[in-house]
Each structure stands twice: as structure tokens, then as C-alpha cells.
Chains A and B, each alone.
Chain A
């Protein structure tokens, strides 16, 4: 019941602040454009590294999404108000993490057409790619939500969140890039499954561990 209440609250907040998602999408899209400027108009090189650019763009955008997700909670200490109702900290965490996951997945889906156009990548297995986007977004969302809760209450929050999050999600970046690259460019040796399994393993560990630790972060 508490998780449903938390999800309902998050959906309502997301709907009310949908302009922010659009702004973050534009940020992600401009990152992809900048990567291609950095590499140069070499179609073959761009296609080769398209997966890397996509996930880097998504990672950079994720810090904005995650930071914004706690902005509304901290403005008037709304999160504290909910905890005192009492609302379960774990339900609040999973509601927020699922909401962030949804946003990052939508962001990833939105960036795919841009990747296809800018980097001239084929798209032979779109549903499998959607699966990788969802698994990777989950990997960013779980620890990201925990760290966003911490850093939203600290000074230098814009710097701290990527500083804490990026080293931690290296396995997500490696696995998601590899899996995406194999799906786009071909997977003759059937390695996608292994990378997706690693991603799911990361997700399982962090969705349980971060949920378990969340109440220590938000309670006094």
C-alpha cells in the first residue's frame, strides 16, 4: 500500500514537472551531437563507438534527472513530512527509484533515434535493445537514487553526485555499452547474454542493498 502511494506521488510529480524531462532530453541529445564533433565526420568511427556515446550521454543526463528528483523533496522538506506520517523509508526509496528508472528508460528510448541518425547505426534487434536500456537504466537508478538523497542535503551537490556515482556504475557502463554495441553491430559469438546477465546481477545487488540502506541516509 505504501509503495503504491509512493508510486502515485512520483507519477504525479513527474507529470507536473514533465517540462524538466524534455529539458534533460535536449541536454542528452546535445551531448550526442558534441561527441560526434569531438570524433569528427568519420562515419565508420562514429558507428563503431555509437553505443559508447549513447551510454555516456545517458549517464551524464542521469545526474540531472537524479538531482532533480530530490529537488522537490528537499525544498520544503516534503520527504521528512512523509517519513513522519509515517511513510516507510523503503517504500519511498523504491517509489523514487522506479520513477527515476522510468525517466531514464524514456530518455534512453528518446536518444536511440538520434543515435541512428547521427551515427548511422543499424537497428536489427530493437526489442532486445529496449531490454538493455531498461537494465542499464535500472543500474543507474538504484545507486543514483541513494546518492541523490545524500547529496541533495549536502553542499556542492552538483559536483558530489557524479563524483560518487560514476565510479560505482563502471560495470553498468561497460556491460551496457558492450551489449548495445553487439546488438547494433552484430553478435556472432552470442555474447550479449553474458553482458546482460552481468548487468542484471549489478541491478539485483544494488536494488536490494541501496533499498536496505536508504533509511539510514534520510533519517536522523
Chain B
């Protein structure tokens, strides 16, 4: 991802936008009204796909981090940077959507829902890693350290989720719906694919930008040449 021509990614983003328009139209105007929450529930058609793809982006960044540390190769670092940025953007968007949902539903902007709270923590955790990248000048150190930090942060995700869930369970007075009934499936799926294509396109393009920037930071590659034969040791002498 990032090595292909940019047209592929623009195409994917256009396809994703198309799916989103279709799915959102279906969800806003055609899907039935939810019994308890009414029209406010329709935000689910972007909220849930955003959630799925946010975690997918961060999972991909984890895979890229592992690949870089185990195999090397600058493409993995470029993809890591892109996936983290897109993942953070989606997580932040998720938190905003969650607030938009929470205010009319429960009268508060933030209700400490374990999933959303975990996402908020991830926004800060991965933003810290992006900040680390800005403050390290050496490209190799930057790539290695952000891979290490990404692995540590990602491994922490389930622990953060469970700790917030237990912490919140002592206070929770409301809960989000756990299951989605069938009339809502199709717009949800269409939007999920829409966001997925959009995400892949964004990561691909951003990865290309990271690669181009890296080229400007590194010395141009030396021309390949056969290794010079080792110098024959000269006769000892000269010194004491």
C-alpha cells in the first residue's frame, strides 16, 4: 500500500464516498425509525462503521510496526505513519459522534461508555506516538521507536477497555444497544464498506506522502558497485 499509483487510491476513495452516500441516504430516509431512541439512532449508520474501521486502522498500524521491526523496509514505516494518522482521525471522529449521540439521548456530552472512553484514550496514546515522530530527526530511530511504541500501545488496548468497563460498571445508569436488529443491517453494511474503501484510499495516499518526504530526508542511494578487493597487508615496518 503506497507503492501503487495514486489513481488506485483516488478510485477507492471515490468508491467509498459513493457507498457512503448510498448507505447514508438509505439510513437517513429509508430505514425504519428506532423504537426507543427515534431518529437520533440514525447516527449509528456512520458511528458503527467508523468504530469498526478505526480499530482496523490501528490494527493495521500494529501489523506494520511488527513487520518493520521483524523485516525492515521503509514501506512499513510509511504505512505505519499513515495508518496511525487515519486511525487517530477516525477515533476522534468517533468520540465526536458519540457526544452528538449522547447529548440528546442522556442529556450529557460524555457518558463514559467503555468503548468510547477506550477510543478517547487511544486518540491520546497514538497522538503521543505521532508527536514522538515529530521530535526525532534520525529516520531510523524514528521508525524503530514509533514501531515499539505502537506495539506497546496496541497491546494495551484490551486492558484499557476492560479496566474502563469495570470502572464504569459501578456507575453506569444507561447502556448502548448491544445488538442491531435486521432492518438496520443493510445501510450499516454499505456504510461500513464505504468507510473501509475511504480508509484504504486515505492510508494509501498518506503512505505515499510519507515515502516522498522520507526520500527528501535520506541521502540518495549509492550506485551499486562490486565490493573492492581487500587490501593485501603491507609489510610491517616503519614504527618501533
Contact = CB atoms under 8 A, between A and B. Distances in A.
A171 B160 contact: yes
Contacts of A198: 159, 162-163, 166
A164 B149 contact: yes
Nearest to B130: A163
Contacts of A195: 166
B83 interface: no
A175 B152 contact: no
A166 B124 contact: yes
Interface stretch (A39-47, A65-73, A200-208): A200-208
Given A155-B135, A167-B121, A209 B167 contact: no
Interface string B133-145: 0011100110011
B95 to A, nearest CB: 14
A171 B136 CA distance: 28
A116 interface: no
A175 B151 CA distance: 22
Interface residues of B, number: 32
A213 interface: yes
B235 to A, nearest CB: 33
A217 B121 CA distance: 24
Interface stretch (A3-11, A14-22, A146-154): A146-154
A156 interface: yes
B28 interface: no
A178 B132 CA distance: 31
Given A160-B131, A160-B135, A209 B155 contact: yes
Interface of B: 69, 121-122, 124-125, 127-129, 131-132, 135-137, 140-141, 144-145, 147-149, 151-153, 155-156, 159-160, 162-164, 166-167
5 contacts: A166-B124, A167-B122, A167-B153, A174-B164, A174-B167
Q: Which 6 A-B pairs have the closest CB atoms?
A: A167-B125, A171-B163, A167-B124, A163-B128, A164-B128, A155-B135
